[in-house]
Amino acid sequence: MNAADVLGALKNFSAKEEILRRLVTPEIEAAVAKIPKPVGSFGFDAWGYNEDQFKVGLAGAKWLYDHYFKVQAFGLEHIPRNGRVLIVPNHSGQLPMDGVLIGVACATNPNGPRAARAMIERFFPTVPWLGNLLNAWGGVIGDPVNCVKMLETDEAIIVFPEGVRGSGKLYKDRYQLQRFGNGFMHLAINHKTPIVPCGVVGCEETMPAVFNIAPLAKVLGIPYAPIAPPLPLPARVVLNFGEPIRFKPVKTEEEVTAQVEAVKREIRRLIDKGLKERPSLY
């Protein structure tokens, strides 16, 4: 072994250990250990989820959850301890902070932690480092094949049926549900998966957007280009999880849409509940 080897080994060793030691508290360690998630011999799953990196990401996000957004989460007992589940929230706040916060709520759920998988935009895998990092934290590109495969292996998945319609909406439209895609309902029916509706309150105020520069977004190839604060504001966030709903198979798309409407109604109710529960805006 030459000097470069020794230095290399030392560098790798200390950096990793330092980060893990400082960030990952015993509390997080314990929560992740309890997550019923099978991984391969090197701690990875087929999509690139990695336990060690998940712990680090969770530690950072937990700090934001506790101290920056001062999140209050209700109804965590409705998230099944194991087995497949679709968590369906409203989407808001330009950046997908709502997804991150729901992920933290699930991973630190005292009733039984889960590693909830979020569907990410398709351009992320093309971004160096970020793509792999999001995968390691549980993000998966939003492809129906991925969704089906994960449900078959009994994962918990966060789906935003509003997509960019929800996250990109302006502050004047806050807490108005946009059109829901029907895809999640088909998945739930075809793969016998319960839906846990979730009302997110507060993320609208983290990045109030007054205007969307649509031509700029088009030029940049991104979904929207809002005039908004450059970083999320520390708005208080309230999460309300509803009881799991199981849907029966139906024949026509019209009936599917009717079932989607039922989910929307429940989310609307949970949002109203959250708006009342919120002690203050910031």
- Residues at the interface with another protein (CB under 8 A): 40-42, 44-48, 122-123, 125-132, 135, 140-141, 143, 145-146, 149
Min dist. Cβ of residue 87 to another protein (A): 20
Contact 256, 182 (CB under 8 A): yes
Nearer to another protein, 146 or 182 (CB): 146
Nearer to another protein, 151 or 203 (CB): 151
Q: Which of 150, 149, 145, 147 is nearest to 161 (CA)?
A: 147
Amino acid letter, residue 249: P
Q: 10 Å Cβ neighbour count for 60?
A: 13
Min dist. Cβ of residue 46 to another protein (A): 4
- Cα separation, 134 vs 138, in Å, equals 6
Amino acid letter, residue 276: K
Contact 228, 210 (CB under 8 A): yes
Nearer to another protein, 30 or 222 (CB): 222
Cα 89 to its chain centre, rounded Å, is 9
Min dist. Cβ of residue 146 to another protein (A): 4
Nearer to another protein, 81 or 122 (CB): 122
Min dist. Cβ of residue 49 to another protein (A): 10
- Token pair in block for residue 145: 């094949």
Nearer to another protein, 9 or 219 (CB): 9
162-165 contact pairs (CB < 8 A, 24+): 162/90, 162/91, 163/91, 164/223, 164/224, 165/91
Secondary structure E strands in the chain:
72-74, 85-89, 116-120, 140-141, 156-158, 195-201, 211-212, 226-227, 238-241
Min dist. Cβ of residue 186 to another protein (A): 17
Min dist. Cβ of residue 39 to another protein (A): 9
Nearer to another protein, 47 or 171 (CB): 47
Min dist. Cβ of residue 119 to another protein (A): 11
Helix, strand, coil tally for the chain in percent (to 5): 45, 15, 40
Nearer to another protein, 72 or 146 (CB): 146
- Token pair in block for residue 59: 């530690």
